[in-house]
Amino acid sequence: MKKSYFHIVFWISIYLIWTYIRSNGEYYSIFIKVNLVEVLFYMLAYYILKHLQIPVLFNKGKVFKFWISIIISSFILYFLWRIIGLFWLDEIRGLTHGKLFKISGFLQQTVQVYSPAVILLALESYSDRQAEIERIDQLEKEKLATELKFLKAQINPHFLFNTLNNLYSNVITKSPKAPEMVMQLSGILDYVLYRSQNKFVPLLEEIDTIENFLNLEKIRYGSRLEIEYFAEENLLLPVSPLILLSIVENAFKHGASGDIDKPIIRISIKQNNDNIKVNVWNTKSKYRGELNDAYKKGIGLKNIKRQLNLIYPNNHILIIEDEKDYFNILLTITPTLM
């Protein structure tokens, strides 16, 4: 419907402009009549070109036949124009000795007839190109949004199962820790399932969830695991939800393994001017091979890298130190505005 309106406005504009030019701005009645017929020929040339010659010949690679059809249609349109001229328009224009065919008249009329068609095709081509760019851009955004939701949904389910098992054990033994565990687990689930659907959240909300996570892991591992945690107060910058939590969770997944004699995890979250600086350090299994390869190449780390590239393509620095006895992630994020 929009294209139909555009065509109507285009042809009316061509008629008015062409009539104004030929009548030196006076809009003489003679040119009002003559140009009305001419614009009908312009329209006929365009629609034959648009809906017949281009799709049937040019778009199918029949270039030679396409140009032959242009020449034939030019002659047909010219002879129709001259027939109308001989029986009507020549008299209006004061031409008493009009001829059916003149080479100069044919060339002039052909240029006039096809000029508006070329202009309109160029405008439509540009409009279609812009629409296609917007469509591809929208599809890409939807694809990235879907991928991001999938990545966020990959928080380790083992954490939930282990927490529920610990909670069950504490409930059975009537441990005073059970109510607190329920509240902390509830806070994590609320954040992961609901608040994490936002594009950005205040950094303090992500930190609250990390602290709930740490408290549950302390109950799970007890004194066997040493956790050093520091987060500055009044961290008000926005952050994409679950990224920092994923880094912390990844450290526990691979840094608190049962084959590590004295597992240690160190976490630091700071705000430096307009940057968020995160440092997550953890001991690593002394056994080379499958466990460490899983850490370095596993889903968790790939997930984190992919999320950062999607959300902060030019606004983050990720440094990974993969040493013999420890694994260290240093991340600097320059947040975008919420």
Task: Find out whether 187 and 195 touch, Cβ atoms under 8 Å.
Answer: no
Across-strand partners of 201? Answer: 239
Q: What is the pLDDT of residue 189?
A: 82
pLDDT in tens, 70-84: 999 988 888 887 777
Distances (CA, A) of 275 to 66, 242, 245: 61, 17, 17
Across-strand partners of 332? Answer: 277, 317
CATH fold for the domain made of 153-333? Heat Shock Protein 90 (3.30.565)
d(CA 156, CA 129): 43
Q: What is the pLDDT of residue 83?
A: 77
Q: What is the pLDDT of residue 28?
A: 64
Displacement of CA 333 from its chain's centroid (Å) = 21
Residue ranges of the chain with per-residue pLDDT less than 50:
289-298, 338
d(CA 316, CA 278): 11
Q: What is the pLDDT of residue 325?
A: 84
Reference 269, options 184, 337, 332, 182; nearest CA is 332
93: CB partners within 8 A, 6+ apart: 30, 34, 85
List helix spans (H) across the chain. 2-22, 29-48, 54-56, 63-84, 90-93, 103-152, 157-172, 177-193, 203-221, 243-255, 290-297, 299-311
Reported pTM:
0.58
Q: End-to-end alpha-carbon separation of the chain, Å? A: 37
Q: Where are the domains of the chain?
A: 2-144, 153-333
Helix axes of 243-255 and 157-172: crossing angle, nearest 10 degrees: 70
Can you list the pairs that 229-234 forms with residues at least 24 positions away whose Cβ atoms lie under 8 Å?
229/266, 229/267, 229/268, 230/267, 230/268, 230/269, 230/270, 231/207, 231/267, 231/268, 231/269, 231/270, 232/269, 232/270, 232/271
Torsion on CA atoms 253, 258, 259, 260, rounded to nearest 10: 70
